[in-house]
Amino acid sequence: MKIDELKNFCDNELKNIDRVTEEIFSVYKADKTEYSVTEQVAIGALMMNVYTGIEKALKQMLLFDKLDVTDEPGWHEKVLRKAGEIGILPTELQPVLGKFLFFRNFFIYNYTFDIKWEDMKVLVDAVKDLTIKLRSEIEEYLQTI
């Protein structure tokens, strides 16, 4: 992948993340206290999409830098760790993204009615700030390569 292709790829992922985030907030309202299981599943699936988009962008950036992030057990954690090591992710975003990864894994491998709304709500409340910071970090990093 060439630099222009990587920039386009990341730009498209960031646009998709923005679109998914808008969908989350079409269902989630900060003043609403009760959500049906169906609403929680919808929000959870969208939150998982946000993380997937972030991971796809980070993985492509790492591959562009010729870093090994091949599909093997633990590669998801490896993407976050390597992105931090080479300066794509600042230290303060790494634990936040770790929580999103944990949620993604929990969402995939468990029944949705086992998800605690309070745990998911913390991530939903953080998603806008996270995506703004992440966009800035990715754009800044792409300017340096």
- pLDDT tens figures, 97-106: 999 999 999 9
Query: Rounded to two decimals, what is the model's pTM?
Result: 0.91
Residue 141 is predicted with a pLDDT of 93
Give dist(CA 63, CA 59) in Å, integer: 6
93-109 and 37-64 helices cross at what angle (nearest 10)? 120
Domain ranges within the chain, ordered by starting residue: 3-144
Residue 72 is predicted with a pLDDT of 72
Banded pLDDT at 42 (limits 50, 70, 90)? very high
Give dist(CA 112, CA 89) in Å, integer: 30
Kindly state the average pLDDT of the residues 59-87. 87
| CA dist list (Å): 139 to 1, 10, 40, 110, 136 | 17, 9, 32, 35, 5
Residue 69 is predicted with a pLDDT of 79
Residue 33 is predicted with a pLDDT of 87
Architecture of the domain defined by 3-144: Up-down Bundle (1.20)
